[in-house]
Chains A and B, each alone.
Chain A
Amino acid sequence: MSRHVYTTEVDEPLVIDCLARAQHAFGRSGAGMARRTFLKLAGASGLGLTLGFSLNLRAATDGAEPPALNAFIRIAPSGDIYIYAPNPEIGQGVKTSMPMIVAEELDADWQRVKIEQAPIDPRYGLQFSGGSRSIAVNWDALRQAGAAARAMLVAAAANKWSTDPSTLRTDASRVFNARGESLSYGELAAAAALLEVPGPSSLRLKQREDYRIIGTAIPGVDNRAIVTGEPLFGIDQQLPGLLYASYARCPRFGGTVVSANLDEIKRLPGVEDAFVLDAKGSHSDLVAGVAIIGASTWAVMQARKRLQVEWDTTHASTASWSRFNREAQQVADDGDGEVLIDNGDVGRAFDDAGSVVESFYTYPFAAHASLEPMNCTAWLKGGILDIWAPSQTPQRGIASASAATGLAAQNIRMHQTRIGGGFGRRLLNDYVAEAAAIAQRVSAPVKVQWTREEDFAHDHFRPAGFHKLKGATDKDGRLSAWQHHYITLQFNGEIVSGGSLRENEFPVLNVPNYRLTQTALDTGTPCFAWRAPGANSVAWVFQSFIHELALAANRDHRDFLIEIMGEPRWFDAGNPNSLNTGRAVDVIKLATEKAGWGRPMPHQRALGLAFHFCHAGHVAHVVDVGVDDNNKVTVHKVVVAADVGPVINPSGARAQIQGCVIDALSTMAGLEITLENGVVEQSNFDSYRPLRIAATPEIEAHFIASEYPPTGLGEPGFPPLAPAVCNAIFEVTGRRVKTLPLSREGFTV
């Protein structure tokens, strides 16, 4: 089979290590690994969605549209192939990579493929972007959609040639017979569309060695539109007669409106209307506030500055970062919290220990700070509400709009737009609810836009956390005990999203004596999933503490970490979404080998290592870090080894690793949200300062192309970075970073 190479011209180190994975096969799991952890893992994204995918592959043709072979594929007589990208594109690359999977099994000529964003339709199953699950959840369905269409095209050719379909082959949008004659997909599409859709069990999917699209570096399908400034994003929506809206919410979450100077606001230039909306739905749907409607963004922004609202703050948040710190210390000093896990006998292990280490780790709230602020355009016309929303969960957006308006879901049409960054913030649809409720009061299309200040003030933050740890190694220097008191946060009596430890969080199952307790502090400001929820912060705690224990026992960090993994096995037998210790060891070995672990380092330089498993991805980082006499930290190089199964698009995969590393570095270095009496203290990029281009390290990504099902890379590349850097900082300075961001410990990046 010919191999069509579509490459980007990116000159970046890329290694696809095709290692044998047989030793990690299913069924060789360690004894006693129960299945109880599976559901927890499936919910690791914090979405709580039922994972699943169903397709209606019934062919349909309608009017002048190119014949549809199924929900994903239309093929025009010209040979142009239209593939629908089902899930929201937030920068993680699924608008390119998901159609690549369809095109692969279709055996399409990628040069003739045109990608369109799919409508919101049950035929596309769950259309969301979160938890790095877009590829993992849809992998089978996308392949089946491509393979089914290919089978229909082959059948149509067989009919024309009056031959047996099994004698035919396909390549690059053509069907070939044994005589070397061929017909193009465009010539066959109309006839194929009339054929019965084959059932999934009859489909022959490609072997991975036959892939010619999957595994090639393909540039993002929207690149040209992006670099020429075409309207793509939610905030770019333009409609005839469009009005603009600002929505003022209480600076303290949960506040409601007593009164506002609406009459004065309505008289301001360019203002069309102003009114109060009450909260509706859950706390992440419509919150109470004051809407100002006007003829331009500037008019409503100016009016917003004149708006005076008396808020009822009886039930408003009093969340305070300084108080949380005091309370957490008090709780840690006082006792143990609720016992969640108590394996073995930690007390006895401490008595018999060779060395014992105690630590207290603290990390702050963080903002999502997507560069495209929250926004939504809505238009209620003839009883139908049209919504254009940059939402990671557009299907839930319909529910949110329905809750806010009382309109039936079938009367709400959601249109997907490209999304200028999500990081979890846009799993929520509060801005959709606002636009829907406002559109109900305005007889014109209306665009709600948040200012950057509002985006910070009304985020649902990455939860802060506090961890009191005591660990031990035995007299042989092996990890023997781990005692962990996690002080987290709860909102309305429920642990916040991203504020729970998985009950199978590494290394719980690999330590004979393990005790986990938990205490939750009340917060009135909600928190929510933030890139690699939970993992983005707890990886730093776990992997820093393992480094502490290794050094206390006089062990090499890498050897100690590998030893903890033990024999190759799945943490949860038969569940490919659980940690596999063999895959873990492989990425640790690959990263350390590529980075030259153990080599002599220059003065004030050291290597740091960390591993984390989340979102079905196994990832290790080795960082080369320098710290000078002024505590200036320079990350010279980051070597990443990842096993996420087969890499669909190497260009996209490398980009996600780069993005994860830079985001994690930025967050570790200086980003924190603080609140006092419920009010967020950071307001814009002058007080919340992500790193700029100059701080970018050299990043080298290595992928182990294992045979396990694929998963996404938007998240698992993030968590190991901070602990790897902090471990290196310790190696250079002898100072253990126990509070993030680094700026709190006197370091600059």
Chain B
Amino acid sequence: MPTVTFEINGTRQVLADVDPATPLLWVLRDALGLVGTKYGCGIAQCGACTVHLNGEPARACSLPVASVEGQSITTIEGLGPRGELHPLQEAWIAMDVPQCGYCQAGQLMSAAALLKANARPTDEDIDRAMAGNLCRCGTYPRIRAAIHKAAEGVRGEGV
């Protein structure tokens, strides 16, 4: 079987002997031990597996690993700068967003991509950007509030 090489959370990763059709999700979870990215549906409907592919949100369950050859992947484990929390992670903790918590990695990855593109999202912007992420517990009001809070923090720091 072929070899696939890509960058994962800033580190070059060489995968030997991998079925090129394997979804990135299962490479992350089974082979690399990065289990923060979650399986929820397998058909890009729930967003639990959201990662960043070259900075853009992507559903890892529907990305064949061969398609990320030479690309850069960021997962929830790499969202914050080394050892630190991303402002969204800070806001998620402070606003007590999680209930069961299973969808939250995916929610955070979608939210991070939103803030990168739009530092002052409105509720409508948030609804649009987060529409692909299902939360079965109904944490939506706090997700929205936490995104606003993080956006304020990011702007306040002049980032």
Contact = CB atoms under 8 A, between A and B. Distances in A.
Given A371-B103, A696-B141, A10 B30 contact: no
Contacts of A370: 100, 102, 136
Interface string A193-236: 00000000000000000000000010110111011111111011
25 contacts: A10-B145, A89-B100, A92-B99, A219-B96, A220-B96, A226-B98, A226-B104, A228-B80, A228-B89, A229-B76, A231-B36, A270-B19, A369-B136, A371-B38, A371-B102, A651-B96, A655-B139, A659-B99, A666-B138, A684-B41, A686-B45, A690-B134, A692-B130, A696-B141, A699-B141
A452 B41 contact: yes
Contacts of A684: 41-43, 45
Interface in A689-743: 690, 692-694, 696, 698-699
Interface string A431-468: 00000000000000000010111000000000000000
B128 to A, nearest CB: 8
Nearest to B78: A229
Contact of B101 (A9, A232, A651): A232
B100 A91 contact: yes
Q: How large is the interface on B (under 10, 10 to 19, 20 to 34, 35 or more residues)?
A: 35 or more
B22 interface: yes
A296 B142 contact: no
B98 A231 contact: no
B137 interface: yes
A116 interface: no
B22 A298 contact: yes
A90 interface: yes
B34 interface: yes
Contacts of A686: 43, 45
A373 B23 CA distance: 18
B73 to A, nearest CB: 13
Contact of A229 (B19, B31, B35, B136): B35
A406 interface: no
User: Of B33, B139, B141, B142, which is in contact with the most chain A CB atoms at under 10 Å from its CB?
Assistant: B141
A429 interface: no
Interface string B5-27: 00000000000000100110010
A421 interface: yes
B10 to A, nearest CB: 15
B144 A696 contact: yes
Given A223-B92, A371-B40, A685 B137 contact: no
Nearest to B27: A298
A269 interface: yes
B107 to A, nearest CB: 9
B30 A227 contact: no
A373 B96 contact: no
Contacts of A235: 35, 38-39
A690 B76 CA distance: 24
A371 B36 contact: no
Interface string B76-112: 1101100001000100111111111111110010000
Interface in A147-179: none
Interface of B: 19, 22-23, 26, 29-31, 33-43, 45-46, 48, 75-77, 79-80, 85, 89, 92-105, 108, 126-128, 130-131, 133-145, 149
B29 to A, nearest CB: 7
Nearest first, the 4 closest Cβ-Cβ pairs linking A and B are A229-B36, A91-B100, A662-B138, A420-B102
A236 B77 CA distance: 14
B23 to A, nearest CB: 7
Contact of A419 (B41, B96, B100, B139): B100
B136 A690 contact: yes
Interface in A223-282: 223-224, 226-233, 235-236, 238, 244, 269-270
A658 interface: yes
A8 interface: yes
A93 interface: yes
A227 B104 contact: yes
Nearest to A235: B39
Contacts of A690: 134, 136
A559 B43 CA distance: 50
B90 to A, nearest CB: 9
Given A421-B136, A659-B139, A298 B100 contact: no
B137 A421 contact: yes
Contacts of B29: 297
B45 to A, nearest CB: 4
A187 interface: no
A11 interface: yes
Given A8-B95, A297-B26, A228 B138 contact: no
A655 B96 contact: yes
Given A229-B105, A421-B136, 7 more contacts: A9-B95, A10-B145, A238-B35, A452-B40, A658-B142, A659-B139, A699-B141
Contacts of B48: 371
A369 B134 CA distance: 11
A12 interface: yes
B96 A223 contact: yes
A294 to B, nearest CB: 10
Which of A11, A418, A685 is the most central at the interface, judged by chain B CB atoms within 10 Å of its CB?
Answer: A685
B93 A224 contact: yes
